[in-house]
A and B are shown apart, each in its own frame.
Chain A
């Protein structure tokens, strides 16, 4: 069972810990089984000639991914990244230092693919991929949330996320997959979402939501259309938005914004998932497979815009990879991509983030807010890693930092940023990203949350911050779990669109406001 561990004490200032070798040694997360491995094309258990399979796979990957080849060769062991990983800062385990994590992979690469490693292994730290090493791979590459913070601080941009994705792919092809990710992928690729929620259940949920909102707003009929052919916008959002707290309040916010804009929109039951765990397991094929569902849904529903809800890695996959994987965007030449391109309205960025959309409406004065509705809150914003370091919004430099903050400030009077070195491109991961959001990894999740919690504690003390807003489903789930462990209120984590939802003035009152204005004139 999951072992007991101490919850880190939050220091006044974040300090680099002394190394404690082996504290995070262990078996790693639960392993996947035949049932979940085979549908993804991976063997169900460790194959007999696993060493050869693994080495061949490393060779294949490094010839397919320049990132891997260049990063393996270029590290000078300067140590600049050693104190940048939240998992190291929270756990003190030296193998959680980014370069040490890479070295688990690099030492094997050197042993098998470089002159120095073949003939002078001791000299250059080359190592054999034996059982111990494989265990270390499984354990420590599942203690990396692929947050890319280390890459920002490396003089060569060496991105440990690329290495850990490659490592996980190697592990998958030798038959050692992670249960959490691969089980979820099975559901996403067959049913359409990570929760395995079939169409009727989804429809019921949405109907309930509509009723709830109508009651709450005193009769405003905000709709949650599902599979509505010919709608303008297809919203692709993480399925957590349908069920989990506080995500669902964000979904309420999206609905209200669409309603106020008067745009027609729809969800898809075939592609009811924004998250794409294919990225976490490093598999181009699996990631593409999941992305293609979205293209198909867009084609079938004949929408002219594809929009993405609040989810960090989903936005990375959508913004940076969709155009490559499935041709959602411009430039792809296959039959379906072309059809989609003709269908899409290119006056809008494709895909577009819900924040970009709401921000644009705010800019154009299309939404009316009562900011005082959020006056009981002092808000700070957690930049989610994938949004912050791997995407953009609004097409302006640093737009991914600017737009969400502007949306928050448009609906809240009290906003404070956390310490500069812990936000924007230097943001600390919530601790649960990259496929680690599972209970069997609770220890590393809690420890990895420490740096973020420390920065939050500071603004709580100094500025009275009582609300943490985020635009990532994983961040929201992770924070709900770990906040109480650090003596915070678990309900202080909210969706940005929840803040929007609380302040937005809906139809009826909007008309009143306008009438009052007219009278005043």
Chain B
């Protein structure tokens, strides 16, 4: 194997591990942190089923965002749906053998790249030109968009222009990563930039705002059922404190009945 292949192969595993450990830690932290009070936000579902439907609508349709701002919704939704289709299509590279027929269905997903890049450009333009959004943006917010744009555009260059990469080599390299049967990768610059930035994104996922992905499932305002009157909701620390009469106010204002 070439040096550069070894470098990227190693980088893949390192970033994957960083991603994995980081995400597990973060999800664990979200999971064990109690929500001591019922704080669902209107329009509030009164049943568990209602909550599940609400989260599904948020994830699939970006319901709140739609209510909030049609432009951000349009660009944000197009970007995410484009990205999803592209990710599905990328599975072909990791599939170790000949592709089953089902992959024919994903053939046209390559055009989703246009949708994704369109969405990203929209988001970027808003970030630059809408005063309010510019005010709240940190350098990392631009950087994230730039990285995604470069990933998208380099992918498009390889797919839709004459700068094709050796697709067989890509597949051997990618599926080799999965099956530990390591192979050389193509060294065209577009391809290297493409996968390098993907690895970077993977590594920073658990320490950046990309955490909105697990976050949405743990958001108490969205995932709580509005049934406070009929079901008691209490956090372990609050229960403990209650049982031990342990608040400092006990000393100042007297014991509670």
Contact = CB atoms under 8 A, between A and B. Distances in A.
B42 A152 contact: yes
A74 B72 contact: no
Nearest to A283: B249
A83 interface: yes
Contact of A284 (B33, B208, B212, B238): B238
B138 interface: yes
Interface residues of B, number: 74
A152 B64 contact: yes
Contacts of B49: none
Contact of A124 (B33, B138, B221, B252): B138
Interface in A30-46: 38-41
A438 interface: no
Interface string A5-49: 000000000001011000000000000000000111100000000
Given A152-B64, A288-B247, A336-B257, A324 B228 contact: yes
A77 B136 contact: yes
A67 interface: yes
B217 to A, nearest CB: 9
B222 interface: yes
B132 A75 contact: no
Contacts of B209: 73-77
Nearest to B58: A155
A120 B39 CA distance: 34
A332 B232 contact: yes
Interface in A144-158: 148, 151-158
Contacts of A400: 42
A332 B233 CA distance: 9
Contacts of A349: 229
A3 interface: no
A330 B230 contact: yes
Contact of B243 (A64, A71, A73, A334): A334
B110 to A, nearest CB: 26
B21 interface: no
A398 interface: yes
Contact of B29 (A69, A155, A351): A69
Given A77-B137, A79-B72, A125-B140, A320 B230 contact: no
Given A97-B132, A124-B138, A155-B62, A66 B232 contact: no
A115 B21 CA distance: 14
A320 B231 contact: no
Majority SS of interface residues in chain B? Answer: helix
Contacts, number: 241
Nearest to A154: B64
Given A73-B211, A398-B43, A67 B35 contact: yes
Nearest to A337: B232
A280 B256 CA distance: 21
Given A18-B131, A324-B36, A350 B29 contact: no
A67 to B, nearest CB: 5
B130 interface: yes
A94 interface: yes
B130 A70 contact: no
B38 A320 contact: yes
Interface stretch (A203-211, A389-397, A456-464): A389-397
A78 B76 contact: yes
A224 interface: no
A123 B41 contact: no
B36 A70 contact: no
B32 to A, nearest CB: 9
A349 B45 CA distance: 18
Contacts of B34: 64-66
Interface in B196-254: 204, 207-209, 211-212, 215-216, 218-222, 226, 228-235, 237-238, 241-243, 247-249, 252-253
Contacts of B194: none
A392 B50 CA distance: 15
B158 to A, nearest CB: 28
A286 B249 contact: yes
B89 interface: no
Interface string A316-349: 0001110110010111101010000000000001
A159 interface: yes
A56 to B, nearest CB: 15
A296 B135 contact: no
Nearest to B143: A123
A153 B253 contact: no
B218 A70 contact: yes
Interface in A493-515: none
Interface in A79-116: 79-84, 94, 97, 99-100, 103, 114-116
Nearest to B30: A70
A351 B204 CA distance: 47
- Residue picked from B204, B207, B215, B247, most chain A C-beta under 10 Å: B215
Contact of B228 (A123, A152, A155, A323): A323
A63 B33 contact: yes
A390 B212 CA distance: 23
Given A79-B130, A151-B41, A397-B46, A324 B232 contact: yes
A234 to B, nearest CB: 15
B230 A324 contact: no
Contacts of A397: 43, 45-46
Contacts of B69: 79-80, 83, 153
B68 A153 contact: yes
A307 interface: no
A350 B215 contact: no
B102 interface: no
Given A79-B130, A99-B136, A125-B140, A65 B216 contact: no
A385 B140 CA distance: 34
Contact of A41 (B137, B216, B249): B249
A100 B137 CA distance: 10
A324 B132 contact: no
Contacts of A327: 232
Contacts of B137: 77
Contact of B39 (A154, A320, A350): A320
Contacts of A292: 256-257
B165 interface: no
B189 interface: no
A299 interface: yes
6 tightest CB-CB pairs across the interface, nearest first? Answer: A331-B232, A74-B215, A125-B138, A157-B221, A79-B133, A153-B68
Given A123-B140, A157-B220, A323-B229, 13 more contacts: A40-B252, A67-B220, A73-B26, A74-B219, A81-B68, A120-B140, A153-B65, A154-B68, A155-B68, A157-B222, A320-B37, A329-B232, A388-B42
18 contacts: A65-B34, A67-B221, A73-B209, A77-B138, A77-B209, A79-B132, A80-B68, A83-B69, A157-B41, A299-B257, A329-B230, A330-B232, A332-B232, A334-B242, A334-B243, A351-B229, A388-B42, A425-B43
